[in-house]
Amino acid sequence: MVVKDIKSVYKDIFKSYDKPSLEEHINKIIELDAYLPYSSTFFCITNTQNLTFEYISKNMFSCLGLDMGIMKTQGMRYFWSRMHPDDVEYWLQALNELMNFTLNNLQVEDRHNMSYTWNYRIKNAKGVYVNVIQNTTPLEFDVNDKPIIGLAHYTVLDSKIHMQVSATAKLLNANKEYETKYFNNFSQKLLSNGISNRERDIVRLLVLNYSSKDIAEKLNISSNTVDTHRRNILKKLNISSTGELIGMIKTNNSLVL
């Protein structure tokens, strides 16, 4: 798909959504693709109503070596057919639970500010199963406010890295900070089930070297509340210090925050 075609493909969406910024956003993404260097990440504009890729960035070939024409004509079914057999059941469970969570636990206005992440293994053109972390941001919704058009980023990691199938749903809050609303590790629980989503957000920000004061500002809570959460996290995980917690996470490639 070329830039000039995007208006016709999404004509009805733009008309009903009535937000010029969405059209501009998609156009800029596609224009930028021509200048992006080759890397371990590629992106697609996905359509879950008809299971197609409306756009596939050029890095897909460098990441996976798959035929661009087949990806466009056969869509998501072809992509999914290359998924590791051991991951299919977990992946389906992850998608189902993410959708159920979205429809049953989120306010309609919040669904437009969500970001979803999950992972699986895909067989590349060389027949090697590589790890893929997919992050999808909804762009458009059907009449039932179910996400149907999304911007999906795929990060490809080496096959030697052992990753467990996890799924996360995060809300972009008023402070422009992503706040975990849902998390599940479908392969194995690496962190205690007692770790709350709020505590998971704090762990993620600690790993990024934010102080309690910084975390409080980002999550719109007090520094005392952050410190209380930090103490509870250490107690639940039976570790003695924040430094030990951060070290444990940084050396554990299976953990998805």
CA distances from 65 to 42, 59, 61, 62 (A): 12, 9, 4, 6
CATH of 190-257, one of 2.60.34.10, 3.40.50.2300, 3.40.50.300, 1.10.10.10: 1.10.10.10
Band (245; pLDDT cuts 50, 70, 90): confident
Residues 6+ apart with CB under 8 A from 63: 40, 41, 42, 124, 154, 156
Q: Which two tokens stand for residue 41?
A: 């990440």
* Contact between 112 and 101 (Cβ < 8 Å): no
Any bridge partners for residue 56, and if so which?
44
Any bridge partners for residue 38, and if so which?
none
**Model confidence over 73-126: pLDDT tens digits?**
999 999 999 999 989 988 988 888 898 899 899 988 898 899 999 999 999 999
* pLDDT score recorded for residue 155: 94
pTM of the model: 0.67
- Mean pLDDT on 52-58: 92
What does the alpha-carbon distance between residue 204 and residue 44 come to, in Å, rounded to a whole number?
26
The reply to whether 3-188 and 190-257 are identical in fold is: no
- Mean pLDDT on 50-54: 92
Asked if residue 9 has pLDDT above 60, the reply is: no
Look at residues 192, 198, 190 and name the one whose alpha carbon lies nearest to residue 228.
Answer: 198
User: What CATH class has 3-188?
Assistant: alpha beta
Domain ranges of the chain: 3-188, 190-257
**Model confidence over 114-172: pLDDT tens digits?**
999 999 999 999 999 999 999 999 988 888 888 888 999 999 999 888 888 889 999 98
Q: Which two tokens stand for residue 28?
A: 């800029």
